[in-house]
Structure 1
Amino acid sequence: MARELEVWLFAERIGTLALIEDRLNFRYSPDWLSRPDAATLSSSLHLQAESFDDHHTRPFFGGLLPEGQLRRLIAQQFQVSSQNDFALLDHIGGECAGAVTLLEPGQSLSSPGQGDDVQWLSEEEIVAILDELPHRPMLAGKDGVRLSLAGTQDKLPVVSDGARIGLPRNGSPSSHILKPAIRTLMDTVTNEGFCLALAEAMQLKPAKSQVHSVLGRQFLLIERYDRVVDAQGQRQRLHQEDFCQALGVVPEMKYQNEGGPDLVQCFDLVRRITRPSAPQILRLFDYVIFNALIGNHDAHAKNFSLLYAGKSAILAPFYDVLSTAIYPTLTPKMAMKIGSKYKFSEVQTRHWDQFSEAVGLGKAQARKRILALAKSMPPTARELQSSREHGFAGHAVVEQIVILIEQRCALTVRRLSAPAADMEDETVL
């Protein structure tokens, strides 16, 4: 017998997710398909009366869930298989990325007037949650809490009004994402906070973030770009999906070297889905350059998203921006190739040209933009580091990031300024 969950988009029931003989199946509801304003759940799940099989369904729905050890711990909490996407979504699919909510048949989504159920937390309770997250990701199983975010890092959807932090309950939308430190790496909160602030200073429109400290414990509070406050003061969801979901790629295939999307596929997606696409293409190009120059080697396809407004889409703000290259225990390989190279130290002028041409940009235009960013980023990073307003001065991890940026930018400027003399013997982090 099939088990079912009703799939809601915004405040509308749009279809049914079913588990049939251990395989996922999604079908849009006839009522939704009959509406002139019906929108697709994903660019990989086009509007159609026929149901989608497991192969087509799992990339989107599996892509809503945490990954790796977080997923295994959540499965243990509910005594289900970590491979059972349906069971996990049944337990934690109440507040997901975008405007998606999954409910048991017969349940209804909270109306806007009811959608402000928040458990406000004391400082002691916040610290207790920071201690609990490594063992109980997403606070799985906590009464009234059904929260899910993709990724392998501890994080938690929360509500913040600027003065308080709380847990969204019973289907209430969150407003922020709380990201604690990665325990095995040095000062990741400051690292990501600095990189996001640098992206903002470079006018790259990242997700807005702020480093917080409660009773001596640091965490990053990131404003959700897929949540807005309406004229009545109610939080509302905006729909989004990451590039793997949009391309129909399951989460475990997110890295290019495992068969996942490459940069050409990412740019083709943006060109196909967004209108007008040219500004979005240039923004994505900037994101790729920025990631390379700060040493964010983990910029895979799930770290880029599309944000939907009605039936149109734009590139979502920059997020998950961490300088991984400063940590010697992490891989020196980038998640996606530039040209034919995974290692930044091996990226020559010809590889930037290969990349630019492959994604449909002229070489001259692309080189000009790469050089502009490589020349302006080091002084901008130093200015941000020394700014009293941001509080990054004196942090060893920030100094490491700035030095790495200076090295990578200097190398890039030299190589692009003298393209005929590719310098194979230079080394850089």
Structure 2
Amino acid sequence: MAHELEVWLFADRVGSLYLTEGRLNFRYNPDWLSRPDAVTLSSSFPLQAEAFDDHQTRPFFAGLLPEGQLRRLIAQHFQVSRQNDFALLDHIGGECAGAVTLLAPGQALSRPAPGNDVQWLSDEEIIAVLDELPHRPMLAGKEGLRLSLAGAQDKLPVIFDGARVGLPLDGTPSSHILKPAIRTLEDTVTNEGFCLALAEVMQLKPARSKVHSVLGRQFLLVERYDRFIDAQGHRQRLHQEDFCQALGVVPEMKYQHEGGPDLAQCFDLVRRMTRPSAPHVLRLLDYVIFNALIGNHDAHAKNFSLLRAGKSAVLAPLYDTLSTAVYPALTHKMAMKIGGKYTFSEVQARHWDQFAEAVRLGKAQARKRVLALAKSLPTSARELHSQDGFAGHAVVERIVTLIEQRCALTVRRLSAPGADAGVETEPVA
């Protein structure tokens, strides 16, 4: 028996997702293929009449869904198997990353009337949502909501108008991602807010964010880079896909040590998909260096994305930049190797050279950029720490100290004659 969901890209029905004997298949609609302006749904789905099998289909569609404990709780709520991507997309695949919507056959895209497209929340209702998310991710099953975002941490697509926070109803595009504190770690809201603000100071073009507090509870609001306001004042979607989706890698293999993408594959993808590619390659280089120096060990391939614009693409803004290295309970292993090393304290000058060679950059060019960021980052971090909103936070002090140590180590190793032969270690991993 076959089950079907229609796959919409923006306002166009581009294909269908099928579940047949427990296996996913995707096929483009013939009408879509006949259009001169037809674009691919994913870099891993070239325009073709033949269907894509489960091995080809699952990375993209499973990549739209929450992961880990969030997936388990959502599946439990709907009484479906946590492995059943199709059933989960049927229930929550309305407002996804990018411009993808999944609907039952024959169901039209909803266009709520103005005034009926947002449920604005009072401060007390925001607190209730924050309390509910750990038990009911994405507010799964709430009337009028079919929301999905990838990742293993609590988050929620919302609409923020500068003063109010609301829930997007009946397929209305959201504007922001609400990220509550991670309960098992200290002050993650301030941590991520600081790291994104620091990336902005360094002119790395991150997703814009702001720390908010309601009735004593903090959360981060991150502006969605895959949404924009058109000339008529309407919020519209931009299509995007993360690097795992684009490379055809299932989300449970997102880490390099699990068989997921390495940095060479990531840089090759950017070269292949962007035109001109040089500015995007250099931005990705900055992202890699920045994540290493701030101690973001969770910078795996799903935390980098491409924004699709017609038949071309650009590198998406930097996002999910949490300094995980300041938490002793979390792994000191980076998500992707730099020159064959997973541990930052082991990265010598020769490993940066090996990284540059692997991603097809000039060694001198890469060293110069690593040194430039390592020399300027500590001062910027210390200055940002002194500003309102970040002063007095213990976790920010630890991040700044870690940055200073990592940058000093990096400058010493890349500058000192004969440093490659040393076996220096870093005080803070």
TM over 0.5: yes
Matched, 1:211 2:211: yes
Contact 1:116 1:172 in 2 (8 A): no
CA deviation after TM superposition for structure 1 residue 70, in Å: 0.2
Q: Distance in 2 between matches of 1:116 and 1:20?
A: 37
| Deviation digits for residues 81-116 of structure 1 (CA, Å, limit 9, x no counterpart) | 000000000000000000000001111112486696
Matched, 1:360 2:345: no
Aligned length: 427
Matched, 1:306 2:306: yes
**Runs (5+) with no aligned partner, structure 1:** none
Report the secondary structure of 2:351's partner residue: helix
Q: Distance in 1 between matches of 2:175 and 2:345?
A: 39
Counterpart of 2:390 in structure 1 is 392
Counterpart of 1:404 in structure 2 is 402
Q: Distance in 2 between matches of 1:121 and 1:114?
A: 17
Q: Which moved more, 1:4-13 or 1:411-420?
A: 411-420
Counterpart of 1:417 in structure 2 is 415
Q: Distance in 2 between matches of 1:296 and 1:50?
A: 41
Report the secondary structure of 2:163's partner residue: coil
Contact 2:412 2:419 in 1 (8 A): no
Report the secondary structure of 1:413's partner residue: helix
Q: Partner amino acid for 2:309?
A: A
- Residues 3-42 of structure 1: matches in 2 within 5 Å? 3-42=3-42
Q: Partner amino acid for 1:82?
A: R
Q: Distance in 2 between matches of 1:266 and 1:249?
A: 12
Matched, 1:235 2:235: yes
**Runs (5+) with no aligned partner, structure 2:** none
Contact 1:5 1:102 in 2 (8 A): yes
| Deviation digits for residues 355-399 of structure 1 (CA, Å, limit 9, x no counterpart) | 0111111111111110000000000001111123xx100000000
Q: Partner amino acid for 2:426?
A: T
| Deviation digits for residues 322-375 of structure 1 (CA, Å, limit 9, x no counterpart) | 000000000000000000100000000000000011111111111111000000
Q: Partner amino acid for 1:271?
A: R
| Deviation digits for residues 206-228 of structure 1 (CA, Å, limit 9, x no counterpart) | 00000000000000000000000
Matched, 1:382 2:382: yes
Report the secondary structure of 1:212's partner residue: strand
Q: Distance in 1 between matches of 2:337 and 2:94?
A: 36
Q: Distance in 1 between matches of 2:96 and 2:356?
A: 34
- Residues 6-405 of structure 1: matches in 2 within 5 Å? 6-111=6-111, 117-388=117-388, 391-405=389-403
Q: Partner amino acid for 1:397?
A: V
Report the secondary structure of 2:336's partner residue: strand
Report the secondary structure of 1:90's partner residue: helix
Counterpart of 1:2 in structure 2 is 2
CA deviation after TM superposition for structure 1 residue 233, in Å: 1.0
CA deviation after TM superposition for structure 1 residue 421, in Å: 2.1
CA deviation after TM superposition for structure 1 residue 426, in Å: 2.5
Normalised TM-score (structure 2): 0.98
Q: Partner amino acid for 2:94?
A: G
| Deviation digits for residues 293-330 of structure 1 (CA, Å, limit 9, x no counterpart) | 00000000000000011111000000000000000000
Structure 1's 97 and 171: CA in aligned 2 closer, same or farther, altered over 3 A?
same
Report the secondary structure of 2:16's partner residue: strand
Report the secondary structure of 2:302's partner residue: helix
Q: Distance in 1 between matches of 2:45 and 2:157?
A: 26
Report the secondary structure of 1:218's partner residue: strand
Report the secondary structure of 1:197's partner residue: helix
Contact 1:297 1:333 in 2 (8 A): yes
Structure 1's 266 and 52: CA in aligned 2 closer, same or farther, altered over 3 A?
same
Report the secondary structure of 1:98's partner residue: coil
Contact 1:115 1:234 in 2 (8 A): no
Structure 1's 50 and 114: CA in aligned 2 closer, same or farther, altered over 3 A?
farther
Q: Distance in 2 between matches of 1:115 and 1:150?
A: 29
Q: Partner amino acid for 1:355?
A: F
Contact 1:18 1:24 in 2 (8 A): yes
Q: Distance in 2 between matches of 1:296 and 1:425?
A: 21
| Deviation digits for residues 67-91 of structure 1 (CA, Å, limit 9, x no counterpart) | 0000000000000000000000000
Q: Distance in 2 between matches of 1:427 and 1:303?
A: 26
Q: Which moved more, 1:239-248 or 1:416-425?
A: 416-425
Report the secondary structure of 1:307's partner residue: strand
CA deviation after TM superposition for structure 1 residue 419, in Å: 5.0
Contact 1:158 1:176 in 2 (8 A): yes
Contact 2:406 2:426 in 1 (8 A): no
Contact 1:349 1:419 in 2 (8 A): no
Question: Where has structure 1 moved over 3 Å in runs of 4 or more?
Answer: 111-116
CA deviation after TM superposition for structure 1 residue 427, in Å: 2.3
Q: Distance in 2 between matches of 1:173 and 1:115?
A: 14
